Amino acid sequence: MGRSAKGYGKAHCLLTPEATEALFRAQDFAKDEGMALLIYDCYRPQRAVDDFVNWVNSHEEEPTKAIYYPHIPRAELIQQGYIAERSGHSRGSTVDLTLVSTETGEALDMGTPWDFFDLTSWGESDALSVQQRANRALLRALMTKHGFMPLREEWWHFTLENEPYPDTYFNFLVR
């Protein structure tokens, strides 16, 4: 989009208490393995999701196309499943994240950046090196061990399996 989505006043990670507790357990386990979790996105107000949908259907400039969706026309992002009219993030138990080495401070190479809309972002894409596949498998194993389910189309996206609000899409502002 090239701008902040509606509904975000500050860059805060908000999650349900249940998701927060599970994420802390995952972080503790990662720390014991010489890694840390780097969180990209958590709760997302429904108004932000609506903003994404409106952006897909707009004629705004596309300053981020080369970075986030170089192989897909913006008008097809919803049709191809990369942007939805309802997001698990709005239920408060979904998180986008990666792993970072605590020794180097560098994120593990996952083969694509976060929020890259392409088949190479699928969790088990074949278009990756052996190391990139291993890094994704490590993240997936860590998160599933601590109660999160992966989204197959996005290696970074995990939802708490027993989320407390599976049918509620919140719309309060992030302040």
Average pLDDT over residues 123-134: 96
Please report, for the chain, the start and end positions of each structural domain, with discontinuous segments joined by +. 33-160
For 94-117, give one letter per residue: b (16+ CB within 10 A) or e.
Answer: bbbbbbbeeeeeebbebbbebbbb
Choice among 60, 154, 161, 163 that is catalytic: 154
> Is 90 exceeded by the pLDDT of residue 60?
no
> Measured between alpha carbons, how far is 42 from 91 in angstroms, rounded to an integer?
10
Confidence bin at 1 (pLDDT 50/70/90): confident
Annotated active-site residue 154? The verdict is: yes
33-160: CATH number: 3.30.1380.10
pTM for this entry: 0.94
The model's confidence at residue 11, banded by pLDDT at 50, 70 and 90, is confident
Q: Nearest-CA neighbor of 102 among 39, 33, 35?
A: 35
